[in-house]
A and B are shown apart, each in its own frame.
Chain A
Amino acid sequence: MTAPTQARQIHVRVAHRDPYVAAGIASLLRSRADFVVQSGLPDAAADGDDEAVDVLVTDYATGVHRATNVPSGRGRSTPKSFLVVTDQSTGWQIRRAMDAGVRGYLLHDCSVEELSDAVRSVAEGRRYLSCPVADQLLENISAAVPTARELDVLHRMAEGLPNKDIGRRLGIGEGTVKTHVKAILRKLGQPTRTAAIGEAFRRGLLPETSP
């Protein structure tokens, strides 16, 4: 239906939980000639002759969920390339999204140019990370990773439990807990347990719970 233009048009669908971010992305992309923009999630319309979508621009949760559960087959109307725009900026969150198959990752404060570059890259099958995202990811890769057991201990530490109680909960001796705590402090580069908990939250090792 669309008239052929000099450059190939990219079909973008914008479905973001934040209505303001969604409206902003849609309006910025519409101002560029090479994007055809649709809003809302595809299954809301559920019509088969939905135009082919090259890129789905979405929020973190939707992006990770959809990238993990890409339905097989079902024509070209189901987007298979995901660009996430989010404020989830810790290294672990970025890694989780990449592992799930998200191909583009931007933060909310990205510029208009970054946004359109990212959409183009992802549409062409390449990956796109904005600079702060790439920074976080590299830092995460080079950081010492706590073992699964150390993470167990870290979670209990964040509940405010003393070593003795952590040992009892995990069925290990207090001395063992102490060793784990020492390793955690070393890996997080912090001198005390309170400081280590703060750093763990910043790095995204502990889930943000609502108070």
Chain B
Amino acid sequence: MIDALDLYVRVCHGDSLVMAGLVALIGQEPGFHVQPGNAPDQGVADVVVADHASALGLLASAAAMDQRGAARGFRVPRVVVLTRRDNEGEVMQAIASGVHGYLRQDANPDELMNAIRHVARGGSLYLCKRTKTLLGHGRPRTGFTAREEDVLRFLVKGDCNKGIARKLNISANTVKAHVSRICEKLHVGSRAQVAIKATQRGLVRV
């Protein structure tokens, strides 16, 4: 059980300005103890606030440690992501990796403090309003098959169907069929639009 009065928060953020800002803002909050640190196993913190990349790195190394030393009562950290960029692909990736909260940097500091408390209490996944809207648009999640993802990756780079076919060792007609399915799933009419939409929504890693 965590005492409502004492909460240990670790901050790791790639931008030193944001890092300093988080330390200052979290430090002002009554009962919050804040500590900056980018090393994965620095002290025990109830909640870690991190940028997208640090969060994923932290969870990956924690998962590896958990497998090795589960007996020593190792605790996987509860991580809240605070990020400037939030495309669909990145949010999904973060949730799949096991983050406990995801906030955009335009969420005001009060909301961040509430999210930290919520996550420390063991609450369910916390998403800020913008991120909720992003995921819940009412549109079904765009699920691509593995093969469609292969095609999409080359399409975004600007390869033609024939070129994609050669690289994936399938026929140009098969590529064509995949491209039409991709267009349908993204509700667009041309490959240029596919490339733009897929890049902006972070559905491909370029």
Q: Give A contacts to B, CB under 8 Å.
A: 17-28, 85, 87, 108-112, 115, 157-162, 190-198, 201, 208-211
Contacts and interface: CB of A to CB of B under 8 A. Distances in A.
A111 B201 CA distance: 30
Interface stretch (B1-9, B39-47, B155-163): B155-163
B131 interface: no
Contact of A160 (B24, B159, B192): B192
B158 A23 contact: no
B61 interface: no
Nearest to B110: A19
Chain B contact patch, size range? 35 or more
B35 interface: no
Interface stretch (B13-21, B64-72, B170-178): B13-21
Given A21-B15, A112-B20, A158-B196, 7 more contacts: A21-B17, A24-B24, A25-B20, A108-B84, A112-B16, A159-B193, A198-B156
B163 to A, nearest CB: 9
B189 interface: yes
A18 B192 contact: no
> Which 6 residue pairs are nearest across A and B when measured between Cβ atoms?
A195-B158, A24-B21, A160-B190, A23-B21, A160-B193, A24-B20
Contacts of B201: 211
Contacts of A26: 24
Contacts of B193: 159-160
Describe B's contact surface by its main secondary structure. helix
Nearest to B199: A198
B199 A201 contact: yes
B21 A162 contact: no
Given A18-B84, A20-B25, A194 B15 contact: no
A120 to B, nearest CB: 17
Interface of B: 14-25, 82, 84, 105-106, 108-109, 155-160, 188-193, 195-197, 199-201, 206
A13 B196 CA distance: 39
B196 A20 contact: no
A190 B197 CA distance: 19
Contact of A198 (B17, B105, B108, B158): B158
Nearest to B28: A23
25 contacts: A18-B18, A18-B84, A18-B105, A19-B21, A19-B109, A20-B17, A20-B18, A20-B21, A20-B82, A21-B18, A23-B22, A23-B109, A108-B84, A109-B15, A109-B16, A111-B16, A112-B16, A160-B190, A161-B190, A192-B159, A197-B195, A198-B199, A198-B206, A201-B196, A209-B200
A105 B98 CA distance: 36
A4 to B, nearest CB: 29
